Amino acid sequence: MNKEKTKTLLLLSLIISSIILTFYIWANEELWSDDYNFFVKWKNFSISQWVPSWFPQQPRNSLQVDYHFYFPQKIIVNYGDSRTIYVKGETEYEKFSKEVSRALEALIRGEQEVRYQSLPLEEWQNVLKKKSFYFDYDVAYATKILGELYGVRDTHLSGYIKNIGEVVLVPEDGVSNDIVFYIKNDDEGIVGKYSLRYDRENLVQLIDRFRPADNRRYRFSFEIPLDKPNKYTRVTVDSNVLIPMQSQKMYVVRSINPIQSEYDIRNILESFGYSHNTLRKYTSMDNTIEYAENDSNLKIHPDGWIEYDAVKEGKGLRLVPGHSSGSGGTVSLRDSMEAAVEFIHGIIGSEQDFYISSVNADPNKLGSYRFNFNYLSGGYPVEVYRGQQGSDESPVDAIQVDMVNGILKRYRHYLRIYDTVDSVDIDVSMTYIFDSIYNHTAERQQDNTKSINTIKVMDLYLNYVDDGNKGLLYPKWAYKVEDSEKVYHLPVIEN
C-alpha cells in the first residue's frame, strides 16, 4: 500500500514539475503568437517574475555593470612635475580607475579606521601638486547616494560632508603607511583629509609605471599662472582648470541615427515588452510614431528621440525582478542603476559608450530614482541639442531613466551611434582661446569690448556637440564663465 502511495506521489510530482518547467520555458522564450497581447502583459506581471525564480538564474546576455562605472569619465594623474588626463576607453584609464575605485570603496565602507582632519581651503592647491590621483564628478554627488552606488546604505562619510565633487587620493604621504583622501568641501569652505590603512602597492606602482608622453602633459591654471588678473589680462582661468601644454589628438565623428527601418522599430518595441501586431499605432504630421496600450505609451521620433511613459500608477516595465535588499523592502539604488544600464545596452548595444551624469533619489518616495546619462566618443563627452543649437538653448541628457521600485516609469533616449572618421591634431594656443572667449562674450552682451570687465573662465575642455543637423561632428572647445552654468563653444584650430 505504501509503495502505491509513493508511486502516486512521485507521479504527481513529476507531472507538476513538468507543467511548471513547460510554463517556464514557454514564458521565458515567449513561445506565443504575437496576436495574444495578454501574454505580453503577463510577462511583466510580478507573479510571472516570481515563477522563474524557482530555477537557477541564467547568465544575462547584456553587459554587466562594472563596479567602477560610477567613476568619472576621466582621471587626472599627478606625477609631481606634470599632470596627465586619461579618459574612459584608454587602457591606462581602466587600470587607474579600477584601483582608485577600490580604494574609494574602502573609504566609503569605513571598515578600516578612518582618521579625519579639517584643513583650510587654501591647502587645496598644495594638495594638487602632490603625486596623486585627482578626479572630479562634474555634478557633485550627495554623499549618501555615492555610498549607495557602492552598495553602502549609510556611509560614515555623510557625517563629514554632504556632497562629494572633487577628490584627490595620495597613495604615499611620506609620513605614515596610510593612503590619504582629500575631499574638497565647498559647502563649509574646507578640505577634508581622510587617512586609512590600505594596501597601496598597486596604486604606487601604477603612478611609477605610466609616465606620460610629452603630448599628454597638463598644468593647472595656477601653475602657469592664468588665474591672477593683471593689467594685460582680459581673461583669467579658475585655479583648478587643467591647461594642455601640447597639441591634442581627437577625431572627426560621424553621428548615426540607428532608426532606419521597420525592423529597427520592431526591436525597440520588443525592448519595451510590446507586441507590434496588437498595439494601437498613430503617426503625426512630423512622422513621429506613437504606440499605445492600456498601461503605457511609446513615441518614436524621426530624429531618433524616443519617449516611454507608464500612464497608470503602479504600472510600467519591470526591470528588476522582485525586491532587492534596499531599505524598507524597496529596490536599492544600485540594483535600479544596474538594471537601467543593462536596459540601455539592450537598446543600443554594448559598443556605444556612455556615462552616468547625475543621480537623484526622491526623498518622499523610497525606491524612486532618476538616472541621467550622456554619450562619450573616444572618451570625450558629447553634448546633445534637440534641433538647431541656439544661444538660449541648453543641452539635454541623451538618456533619462525614471524608476520606482524596479519598474520603469519614464524613459527618454536620443538614439545615436558615433563612429570615428579622421584624426585631428588640435592647436592649444591660449591666445586664440582667450581672445575668442572675450570677443564672444562681448557679442553676447552687445557691448563695447573696452567696457567689459575681466572674464573668469570656470571650466575649459574639449568635447563634441550633436544638434541632429550634421552627419559629421568636429571637436570643439567648451567653456563656462563665472556666474553662469551655460556651456559655450568655440571651434578648434587644427595644426
pLDDT tens per residue, range 33-84: 444 444 444 444 444 443 433 333 333 333 345 655 778 889 999 988 789 9
Contact residues for 406 (Cβ-Cβ < 8 A; gap 6+): 318, 319, 320, 321, 322, 323, 324, 331, 335, 336, 339, 367
The pLDDT value given to residue 147: 94
Name the strand (E) or helix (H) holding 195: strand 190-197
Model confidence over 6-39: pLDDT tens digits? 767 777 777 777 777 766 665 554 444 444 444 4
Task: Check whether residue 237 and residue 295 sit in a common domain.
Answer: yes
Q: Do the strands 368-377 and 493-494 form a parallel or antiparallel pair, or are they unpaired?
A: unpaired
Contact 369, 384 (CB under 8 A): no
Rounded Cα–Cα distance for residues 24 and 30 (Å): 10
CATH number at residue 223: 3.30.310.160
Task: Check whether residue 237 and residue 147 sit in a common domain.
Answer: no
Model confidence over 163-221: pLDDT tens digits? 999 999 999 877 778 999 999 998 899 999 999 999 999 999 998 888 766 667 899 99
Q: Which residue, 145, 111, 127, is CA-closest to 192?
A: 127
Task: Check whether residue 299 and residue 433 sit in a common domain.
Answer: yes
Model confidence over 360-398: pLDDT tens digits? 999 899 899 999 999 999 999 999 998 655 445 789 999
Number of structural domains the chain divides into = 3
Contact 485, 472 (CB under 8 A): no
Q: Check whether the bond before 72 is cis (ω within 30° of 0).
A: no
Rounded Cα–Cα distance for residues 143 and 152 (Å): 11
Q: What is the rounded average pLDDT of the residues 299-316?
A: 91
Within a domain: 437: yes
Lowest mean pLDDT among 164-168, 251-255, 345-349: 345-349
Which residue range is the domain that position 208 belongs to? 74-212
Lowest mean pLDDT among 17-21, 152-156, 369-373, 472-476: 17-21
Q: Please spell the DSSP secondary structure of 96-160, one letter per residue.
A: HHHHHHHHHHHHHHT-S-EEEEEEEGGGHHHHHTSSEEEEEEEEEEEHHHHHHHTT-SS-GGGGT
Instruction: List the grid coordinates of 345.
Output: 545596452
Q: Which residue has the higher pLDDT, 350 or 308?
A: 308
Task: Check whether residue 249 and residue 194 sit in a common domain.
Answer: no
Instruction: List the grid coordinates of 481.
Output: 564663465
Name the strand (E) or helix (H) holding 75: strand 74-78
Q: What is the rounded average pLDDT of the residues 293-321?
A: 91
The pLDDT value given to residue 10: 73
Confidence (pTM):
0.82
Mean pLDDT, all residues of the chain: 84
Task: Check whether residue 144 and residue 30 sit in a common domain.
Answer: no
